[in-house]
């Protein structure tokens, strides 16, 4: 499990970064209102990866853009998220990252020498977790940007590691800050993204889902790093397509590295991000007074009536698929809402049932008791044939 | 999935109860399966935390580890597990039978029965594979020696886990896979991985619908996950303090405190495992309620052959399974798996009209009534007169097979039927004319009953379960350079044996 270092409590509400951005400020004001008077939650590579895997979900897009604490909102709406994090997993992740970075990143340097032909025995290290004691997002971002700019400009061949950089990426037409658990390593004229994960690679193989998630997250970092450097006038080549994934090898905790090509994920991600509807147009369709504020009293108790919160959530359309169960805190709320749709049975079922949206409609078509409008005529033929076969084999009508 | 199973899902959702997608059971069920429910410590690659194991539903055996990060305790656990598993496995090598098998009908001796291990879900199979991998290279001498049963357990677990890739093999079976092969629920396949929810849909407790039972099953307090991953809240609120108590007692050397701490830990882990243990036996009961399909016994015979072969390999002192297959071994295995997959699919369809219905819907088979037959038709166009009866089948199924292609009937698998013509008069059932050969006796008169008679219901499939010769592969020492060149034989190394497991 990746760990998120430095989720500092001192976060300010961010204001758009475009100087002329009157519209941006309007959007920001609306998002602030949706969130209520609490600190926004930062995006991270995982949330962007999840967003890009279900780009049609306006509910998730709006809640993430506003920095809503989805876990708490879902719990108060009566549908707490089904996942938590075990402290064993957390401590294992922390211990592994600490081990990789121990003694001036000695283990990491060994891997960099193996995989990137790092010629020198040492590299300098810059921690960007805070900027002169200031841990605000703006200050950290400014420092990251300044240091990256200096590094990009220098022809210095010495390797430099940047730990805890704060990056910024445009998502839904709005910049979001990314709190990555990554190291960017500059060697010669190129930056390399290093991703540390604590799942094991056994005999050269690891859990496919975990690798896929790590690769897409790394791709988010590559994209964000390219965007930051692009704003500084550098070309995309400055950030390598290949990322270095660092994982424990076999059953021991000794780190091993694997170079992963993220070009395909970059293409997917760029396309999905481009498809994401602009947040402002999503907001336009929503009532101006909409808020997911839990209205906590001075004692911290939630004062917002549950039904009112659920009604507010229902205003923003969601696109539920069973994949959400693994990645989104709102999943149980949306699942309950999606009961009766074929999508709730899985993507395959939705396709097998001819793309018909509701289970009841599909069954009506199968029984021949509903007229099939033009678009559903083909589905109706298939469903009737299936219903006839089931009846023939089981002796009872569908 | 197909439209037929998805329709069953839709109907299950509407009714609030699972729907059958098979009419027979497609897997072998042992009279005495070994149920194995493992738990692991979150975050670690393969750290066993506990297991419940046994072949008697009333006598589960609980194994626990007080500190899963401690190497010695891990090996103590695997030794205990070995003591529970290996006598069960080896018990099956008591009696042998001699059979004629294979394409050449050669004589072969094999054990009369084979073991069957049941685990809750696919994740438990992955754990079995990992535990096998982490123990099979260990040595009983030299640095870090382990008890003799530990590497043996590793090799058996690896064997069982590798066999799950063979379609239709039943040596190691995940209960959720077995149940969802036979029933469709009103939820998604991802949710079917929860054993409690899945059994809730199939057999809800009195007073609840399947969907209500599944909703209850999602509460980890009532139904702890069936492993190997534990509930994170249990980890944080129950397990961690109990483990710390064990650690403290171990450091202080306080024996009574250690006993108390171990007892409390065991009780907590038992509470997490007992519900899954009971669900496993409930699943066994549900599967037993279905009659076995016609080819199940033949597939189990292949499992018995595999078990016999591996037991012999171990007895003869053969090396442990390598970390990775060689190029030739991998190519052979893949080709074999592909053939077995096709054959498994055909066997299931031939055994079960509901599975055949899926193939009919896809246009790979058709069923209908014989409307005309010429059982005595003789073809005299060649040098020798041959019996070639023709039958006409009327079917409402879509017939995608082309004229000239050969189809097979589950009722007469040895007979070849060639499609002579297909006529599809608009809006009416299709008429398929078939010419039959083989399986009708030697003379120019068909043996009674070998040719379908008018009025008979028949089914013909474009696939069959015949013998297909394996493709030729080079010997391992002739591996072409494109695939890494000739193979160095695998020799287990000291490095394998001493690998850290921390």
ipTM: 0.84
- Position with higher pLDDT, B94 vs B274: B274
Interface touch B357/A248, C-beta < 8 Å:
no
Residue of B nearest to A353 (CA): B3
pLDDT at B105: 79
pLDDT at B490: 67
Partners of B368 on chain A (C-beta within 8 Å) are none
User: Which of B7, B41, B44 lies at the smallest CB-CB distance from A390?
Assistant: B7
E strands, B199-356, in order:
none
User: Which of A82, A363, A386 lies at the smallest CB-CB distance from B218?
Assistant: A82
Interface of A with B in 225-254 (CB under 8 A): 248, 250-254
Residue position matching structure tokens 């509903």: A370
Interface touch A349/B10, C-beta < 8 Å:
yes
User: Which of B6, B43, B133 lies at the smallest CB-CB distance from A93?
Assistant: B43
Tokens read off for B77: 């656990």
Please choose, from the candidates B149, B88, B83, B81, the residue with its C-alpha nearest in 3D space to the C-alpha of residue B115.
Answer: B88
Interface touch A390/B45, C-beta < 8 Å:
no
d(CA B360, CA A29): 59
Query: What CATH class is the domain B349-461?
Result: mainly beta
In this complex, is the C-beta atom of B122 within 8 Å of any C-beta atom belonging to chain A? no
Burial track B421-435 (b if 16+ CB lie within 10 A, e otherwise): ebeeeeeeebbbbbb
Interface touch B13/A366, C-beta < 8 Å:
no
Please choose, from the candidates B391, B436, B385, the residue with its C-alpha nearest in 3D space to the C-alpha of residue B415.
Answer: B436
pLDDT at B301: 93
pLDDT at A158: 63
Q: Looking at the predicted structure, is the pLDDT value of residue A12 above 50?
A: no
In this complex, is the C-beta atom of A208 within 8 Å of any C-beta atom belonging to chain B? no
Q: Work out the pLDDT band at B391, boundaries 50, 70, 90.
A: very high
Sort B196 into a burial class: Cβ within 10 Å, 0-12 / 13-18 / 19+: buried
Summarize pLDDT for B233-264 with one digit per residue, the tens.
Answer: 999 999 999 999 999 999 998 899 999 999 99
What contacts B308, CB < 8 A, 6 or more positions away? Answer: B93, B96, B109, B110, B111, B114
Interface touch B43/A86, C-beta < 8 Å:
yes
- Position with higher pLDDT, A252 vs B494: A252
Interface touch B235/A93, C-beta < 8 Å:
no
Interface of B with A in 11-40 (CB under 8 A): 11, 13-14, 20, 23
User: Which of B11, B42, B357 lies at the smallest CB-CB distance from A88?
Assistant: B42
Q: Looking at the predicted structure, is the pLDDT value of residue B283 above 80?
A: yes
pLDDT at B242: 95
Separate counts of helices (H) and strands (E) for chain B: 14, 17
Interface touch A325/B191, C-beta < 8 Å:
yes
Partners of A390 on chain B (C-beta within 8 Å) are 4, 7-8, 354, 357
- Position with higher pLDDT, A317 vs A83: A317
Q: Which range among A195-199, A232-236, B61-65 has the greatest average pLDDT?
A: B61-65
Q: Looking at the predicted structure, is the pLDDT value of residue B389 above 90?
A: yes
Summarize pLDDT for B27-62 with one digit per residue, the tens.
Answer: 999 999 999 999 999 988 889 999 999 999 999 999
pLDDT at A14: 36
pLDDT at A23: 55
pLDDT at A8: 33
Q: Which range among A42-51, A92-101, B226-235, B271-280 has the greatest average pLDDT?
A: B271-280
User: Which of A83, A349, A385 lies at the smallest CB-CB distance from B9?
Assistant: A349
pLDDT at B269: 96
Asked if the bond preceding B228 is cis, omega within 30° of 0, the reply is yes
Q: Looking at the predicted structure, is the pLDDT value of residue A5 above 50?
A: no
Q: Which domains does chain A have, with CATH numbers?
A: 2-42+58-81+286-321 (no CATH), 87-272 (3.90.320), 342-394 (no CATH)
pLDDT at B398: 85
Summarize pLDDT for A335-386 with one digit per residue, the tens.
Answer: 999 999 999 999 999 999 988 999 999 999 998 876 777 778 888 888 999 9
Interface touch A88/B361, C-beta < 8 Å:
no
Q: Number of A:B CB contacts under 8 A?
A: 148
d(CA B151, CA B131): 10
Sort A319 into a burial class: Cβ within 10 Å, 0-12 / 13-18 / 19+: middle
Q: Looking at the predicted structure, is the pLDDT value of residue A215 above 50?
A: yes
Residue of B nearest to A197 (CA): B43
In this complex, is the C-beta atom of A387 within 8 Å of any C-beta atom belonging to chain B? yes
In this complex, is the C-beta atom of A9 within 8 Å of any C-beta atom belonging to chain B? no
Interface touch B188/A322, C-beta < 8 Å:
yes
In this complex, is the C-beta atom of B7 within 8 Å of any C-beta atom belonging to chain A? yes
| Of A64-68, A186-190, A293-297, B376-380, the least confident | A186-190
pTM for the whole structure: 0.88
Q: Looking at the predicted structure, is the pLDDT value of residue A312 above 90?
A: yes
CA dist list (Å): A276 to A53, A171, A347, B12, B312: 11, 8, 20, 35, 60
Name the 3-class secondary structure at B303. helix
Ordered by start, the domain boundaries in chain B are 3-323, 349-461
pLDDT at A1: 34
Alpha helices in B136-254 (DSSP H): 149-163, 175-182, 195-202, 210-217, 232-234, 240-252
In this complex, is the C-beta atom of B493 within 8 Å of any C-beta atom belonging to chain A? no
Q: Looking at the predicted structure, is the pLDDT value of residue B322 above 70?
A: yes
In this complex, is the C-beta atom of B67 within 8 Å of any C-beta atom belonging to chain A? no
Residue A90's CB: how many other CB atoms inside 10 A?
A: 18
Interface of B with A in 266-295 (CB under 8 A): none
């Amino acid at each position: 499990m990746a760990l998120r270092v430095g989720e500092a409590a001192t976060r300010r509400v961010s204001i758009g970064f475009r100087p002329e951005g009157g519209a941006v400020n309007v959007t920001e004001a609306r998002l602030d209102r949706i969130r209520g008077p609490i600190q926004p939650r930062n995006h991270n590579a995982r949330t962007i990866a999840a967003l890009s895997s279900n780009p049609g979900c306006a509910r998730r897009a709006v809640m993430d853009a506003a920095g809503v604490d989805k876990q708490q909102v879902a719990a108060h709406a009566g549908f707490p998220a089904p996942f938590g994090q075990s402290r064993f997993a957390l401590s294992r992740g922390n211990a592994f990252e600490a081990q990789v970075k121990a003694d001036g990143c000695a283990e990491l340097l060994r891997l960099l020498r193996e995989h990137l032909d790092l010629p020198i025995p040492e590299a300098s290290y810059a921690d960007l977790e805070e900027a002169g004691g200031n841990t605000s997002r703006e200050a950290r971002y400014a420092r990251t940007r300044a240091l990256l700019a200096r590094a990009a400009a220098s022809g210095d061949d010495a390797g430099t590691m940047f730990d805890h950089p704060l990056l910024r990426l445009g998502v839904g037409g709005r910049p979001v800050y990314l709190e990555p658990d990554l190291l960017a390593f500059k060697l010669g004229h190129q930056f390399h993204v290093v991703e540390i994960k604590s799942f094991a690679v056994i005999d050269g193989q690891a859990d496919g889902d975990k690798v896929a998630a790590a690769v897409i997250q790394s791709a988010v970092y590559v994209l964000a790093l390219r965007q930051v450097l692009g704003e500084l006038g550098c070309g995309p080549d400055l950030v390598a397509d290949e990322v270095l994934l660092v994982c424990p090898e076999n059953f021991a905790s000794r780190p091993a590295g694997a170079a992963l090509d993220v070009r395909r994920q970059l293409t997917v991600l760029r396309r999905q991000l481009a498809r994401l509807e602009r947040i402002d147009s999503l907001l336009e369709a929503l009532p101006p007074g909409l808020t997911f504020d839990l209205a906590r009293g001075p004692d911290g108790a939630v004062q917002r009536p549950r039904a009112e919160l659920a009604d507010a959530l229902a205003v923003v359309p969601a696109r539920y698929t069973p994949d959400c169960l693994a990645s989104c805190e709102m999943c149980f709320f949306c699942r309950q809402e999606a009961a009766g749709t074929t999508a709730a049975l899985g993507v395959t079922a939705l396709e097998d049932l001819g793309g018909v949206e509701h289970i009841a409609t599909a069954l009506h078509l199968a029984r021949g008791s509903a007229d099939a409008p033009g678009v559903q005529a083909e589905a109706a033929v298939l469903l009737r044939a299936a219903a006839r076969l089931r009846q023939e084999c089981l002796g009872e009508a569908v | 999935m197909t439209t037929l199973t998805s329709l069953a899902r839709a109907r299950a959702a509407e009714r609030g109860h699972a729907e059958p997608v098979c009419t027979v059971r497609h897997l072998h069920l042992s009279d005495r399966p070994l149920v194995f429910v493992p738990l692991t410590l979150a975050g670690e690659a393969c750290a066993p935390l506990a297991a419940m194991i046994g072949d008697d539903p009333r006598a589960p055996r609980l194994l626990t580890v007080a500190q899963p990060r401690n190497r010695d305790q891990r090996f103590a656990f695997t030794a205990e597990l070995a003591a529970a598993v290996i006598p069960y496995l080896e018990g099956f090598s008591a009696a042998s039978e001699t059979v004629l098998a294979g394409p050449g009908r050669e004589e072969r001796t094999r054990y009369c029965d084979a073991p069957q291990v049941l685990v809750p879900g696919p994740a438990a199979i992955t754990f079995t594979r990992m535990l096998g991998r982490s123990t099979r290279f260990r040595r009983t001498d030299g640095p870090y020696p382990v008890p003799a049963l530990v590497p043996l357990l590793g090799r058996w677990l690896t064997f069982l886990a590798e066999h799950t890739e063979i379609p239709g093999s039943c040596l190691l079976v995940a209960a959720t896979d077995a149940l969802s092969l036979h029933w469709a629920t009103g939820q998604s396949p991802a949710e079917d991985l929860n054993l409690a929810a899945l059994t809730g849909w199939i057999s809800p407790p009195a007073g609840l619908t399947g969907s209500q039972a599944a909703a209850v099953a999602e509460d980890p307090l009532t139904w702890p996950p069936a492993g190997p991953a534990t509930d994170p809240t249990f980890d944080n609120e129950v397990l961690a303090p109990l483990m710390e108590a064990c650690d403290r007692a171990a450091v202080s050397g306080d024996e009574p405190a250690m006993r108390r701490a171990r007892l409390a830990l065991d009780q907590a882990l038992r509470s997490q495992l007992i519900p899954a243990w009971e669900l496993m036996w409930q699943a066994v009961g549900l599967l037993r309620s279905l009659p076995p399909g016609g080819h199940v016994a033949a597939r189990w015979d292949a499992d018995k052959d595999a078990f016999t072969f591996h037991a012999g390999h171990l007895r003869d002192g053969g090396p442990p399974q390598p970390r990775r297959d060689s190029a030739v071994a991998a190519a052979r295995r893949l080709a074999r798996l592909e053939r077995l997959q096709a054959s498994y699919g055909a066997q299931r369809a031939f055994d079960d009209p509901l599975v055949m219905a899926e193939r009919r819907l896809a246009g790979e088979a058709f069923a209908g009534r014989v409307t005309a037959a010429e059982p005595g038709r003789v073809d005299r166009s060649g040098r020798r007169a041959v019996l070639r009866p023709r039958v006409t089948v009327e079917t409402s199924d879509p017939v995608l097979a082309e004229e000239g292609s050969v189809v097979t009937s589950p009722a007469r698998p040895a007979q070849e039927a060639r499609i002579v013509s297909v006529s599809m008069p608009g809006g009416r059932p299709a008429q398929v004319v078939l010419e039959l050969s083989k399986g009708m006796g030697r003379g120019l008169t068909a043996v009674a009953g070998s040719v379908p008679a008018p009025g008979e219901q028949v089914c013909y499939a474009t696939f069959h379960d015949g013998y297909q010769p394996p493709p030729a592969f080079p010997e391992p020492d002739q591996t072409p350079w494109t695939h890494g060149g000739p193979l160095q034989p695998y020799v287990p190394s000291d490095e394998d044996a001493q690998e850290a497991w921390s």
